[in-house]
Amino acid sequence: MKGRAAVEIERVDTPATAPASVLRPRGRARWTVLSLLLTITIVNFIDRQTVSVLAPVLRQMLHLTNEQYGRIVAAFQFGMMTGEFPMGWLMDRWGVRLGLAAAVLWWSGATAAQAATRSGLQLGITRFWMGTGECGNYSGGLKSIFRLFASEERTLAIGIFNTGSMVGATLAPPLIVYLAQRYGFRAVFLVPASLGILWVPLWVLVYRDPRAEQHAAVRSVSLASLLRESSAWAVMLCRFFIGPVMQFYWYWIPSYLYAARHLTLAQVGYWGWIPFLLGDAGGILGGWAAGVLTKRGFSAYTVRRVTMYSSATLCLTSIAAPFLQNTAAAFLAIGIAVMADNFLSANMFAAITDLFPDHAVGRATGLTGVAGGFSGLLFPLLTGYLVDRVSYAPVFAMVALMPLIGTSLLFIVGRQYRAAERSR
């Protein structure tokens, strides 16, 4: 296609569980698409971090307790849970080009609306609205990667895409503190909203849904049929336990550093990005390690077991964080746990592409998002309760153990993975 960087595609054979053929991109076009997916994920997670980084200021301005702040975080998670399956359906039914563009416009409008809030209730409502759109980032992104990358490249692509969450979380503290101190806290919401709106024309110009995807609705699967699959429950349970872990680091670490470690807001902005920088490395390493094992002939089952169990075990380091007197040592413990969890997440999302055919990836991802949204709704409420009445220590212990529980359930419940184990 002349005059534009549209995706050039080629037809390749796929397993019997997928549509008869899948169109994959040639040359570097798929990496251009991946760079756009990475960019919007960074913007997405800057949007998410606005309230958590500003939490010390907002809680004083709006007179919020930890429990009330927890309810605002839970409102966002409830929005994510509510929007997950509709967004997955949208991506499967209409294609990613239009579906993801609509999702970005929807959540960017909600991000901008937060600049006008004057109470905790208003902030909670706009965060709910934002959550209903932001969940589309993963269902659209994973479906695009499934379409555009072969299996030996796919986990690396997912790792790079998912690293956007860490890059966004790394950039958010210094960027948000700078904007708040220089232009006022309302600019913190308007800047990332503008970035999302500017991204949409680029996406519409560059990405083209392959013809097979445009007709995937012919092989559409119902919600009831998905829920009859053990694989659906396996990935849902896995994300139920793993999802809230990173959410805790995103939404509560600035408050922890401010309240428990007695850092100023400026110090939070100066130091708060360090654990997430390690998380950036974890996401890419998780995808790279899976790709290396795949190229050496290991099955998807073996690749996921090795990468997920090893990284879930490393997540246990966060238990030590609240007991370390030295703040730098606590940062290191948190950073190792964040790195391990992001390594794990790259393979958790890749497991969805292992277990589901192309025409169901969007909705399967949506179902895992519902499960993650439900636990993400409960966990902030429990976190606020424990922080107000006990301390951060039991919360750190929970987020240390939950990745190992989620990983175990993926392989125990997933019949397809259990069949692979029996065949070894």
pLDDT tens-digit series, residues 32-48:
999 999 999 999 988 88
Phi, psi of 10, rounded to the nearest 5 degrees:
-135, 160
pLDDT > 90: percent of the chain: 25
Task: Encode pLDDT of 219-270 as tens digits.
Answer: 556 777 778 888 889 999 999 999 889 888 877 777 788 778 877 777 776 7
Q: Do 241 and 39 form a contact (C-beta atoms < 8 A)?
A: no
Q: Return phi, psi of residue 13, to 5°.
A: -75, 150
Angle at the Cα of 401 from the Cα atoms of 369 and 328, rounded to 5 degrees: 105
Options 3.40.50.620, 1.20.1250.20, 1.10.150.120, 1.20.1260.10; CATH for 24-214+223-423 is: 1.20.1250.20
Q: How many helices (H) and strands (E) does the chain have?
A: 18, 2
Band the pLDDT of 22: cuts 50, 70, 90: very low
* Mean of the per-residue pLDDT values of the chain: 81
| pLDDT exceeds cutoff 90 at 62 | no
Phi and psi torsions of 18, nearest 5°? -95, 175
Pick 396 or 77 by higher pLDDT. Answer: 396
| Residues 277, 172: Cα–Cα separation, whole Å | 11
Q: Would you say 81 and 374 are in contact if contact means Cβ atoms under 8 Å apart?
A: yes
Residue 263 structure tokens: 């850092």
